[in-house]
Amino acid sequence: MRITRGIEEKPSANALMTIEEHIKATLKEFRPTSQKINFYSQNIQERCSKYFTVSINGQKIKLFVFETKIELQIKIDTKLLFAISRPNLVCFANKELNQRVGTYKVFTDRSKDELVIKCITLIDKKIEALGLELDEALFVYGNVIQLAINQSRGLIPEIDSLISLKSKIEKAYPRKLKTDLSKIPANLHELVPFLEDWAISDDTERQEKINDSSKSELKKLTNAVMPRMNAINTYLDSFKNQPLTQEATLIGNLAELVTELTLSKQH
């Protein structure tokens, strides 16, 4: 067995093991915790039943268990949006690059294609080393990087690769959250200070943020957002069939989090 970035590589899944047993056995030294979940992924086109959380080399990794796939997920802070091998149907990185880069397909939303091409060139060897099958994929967007792989994978090499990819992409193409107030109605300007910490798009991350926050923090957030819900809806509805701006997307995420928070208190 070889050591990868301080992580001991273990054999791939035993045919007699369930996928959950495989994850627990492979990541045993990192003491994985698990939680039941139930959602359908448009990207993977399968249902997820459970996810595991581990901390490796200071990085928090989530492993979502699907019917035939495992999705490794780690937070990232980048301005890029692209997908490798399969399109990202959730974030609309579903248009294949006209310029061929590497031996795999690259999908974007056409907004930053030049930067994506440079990024792919930078990480090409690491992507090639992953050896993605046609039904596997890498998704990079905003605040998360995801690797959807078959359950027969060994996990340790893939986790190591994901951490390395995150580091390279984040360092070369960091996301700098700059909110353009001219694109936000004046009656919503007071929400801007909440966007960086609370405008979370991922359902699981939203719930974790709520669970980890104090009652006073949640009360302050709710008191700021709830009285402006009608104004938020009016603002978002004004786009009609047009794509939302970054500012509108963030405010929509913020409103969704507060809505879920309010509903949870009612039950």
Give tens-digit pLDDT for 92-108: 899 999 888 878 999 99
Instruction: Choose between 197 and 175: higher pLDDT.
Output: 197
Per mean pLDDT, which range of 9-18, 111-120, 187-196, 242-251 is the poorest?
9-18
Sorting pLDDT into bands at 50, 70 and 90, what band is 266?
low
Tell me the backbone φ, ψ of residue 33, rounded to 5 degrees. Answer: -110, 155
Give residue 259's Cα distance to chain centre.
21
Residue 7 has pLDDT above 90, yes or no: no
Q: Cα separation of 257 and 92, whole Å?
A: 22
pTM for this model (two decimals): 0.68
pLDDT of residue 15: 55
List CB contacts of 76: < 8 A, sequence separation 6 or more.
140, 142, 143, 144, 145, 166, 169, 170
In Å, how far are 101, 143, 164, 165, 168 from 172, measured between CA atoms?
18, 15, 13, 11, 6
Residue 61: phi and psi, rounded to 5, are: -110, 135
Q: Using alpha carbons only, give the angle 20, 104, 19 rounded to the nearest 5 degrees.
A: 5
Annotate 47-115 with DSSP letters as a single string. Answer: EEEEEEEEEETTEEEEEEE-SSEEEEEEE--BS-EEEESS-BTTTTB-EE-SS--TTS-EEE-SSSHHH
Q: Is the pLDDT of residue 133 over 90?
A: yes
- Is the pLDDT at 201 greater than 70? The verdict is yes
Domain range list for the chain: 3-172, 181-266
pLDDT tens-digit series, residues 70-87: 999 999 989 899 999 999
Per-residue DSSP letter, 242: S
pLDDT at 207 (0 to 100): 84
Q: Give the torsion through C-alpha atoms of 74, 76, 79, 84, to 10 deg.
A: -30
Confidence of residue 171 (pLDDT cuts 50, 70, 90): very high
67 — alpha (psi -120 to 50), left (phi > 0) or beta? alpha
Q: Tell me, what's the pLDDT at 99?
A: 84
Closest CA to 76 of 153, 155, 139, 150: 139
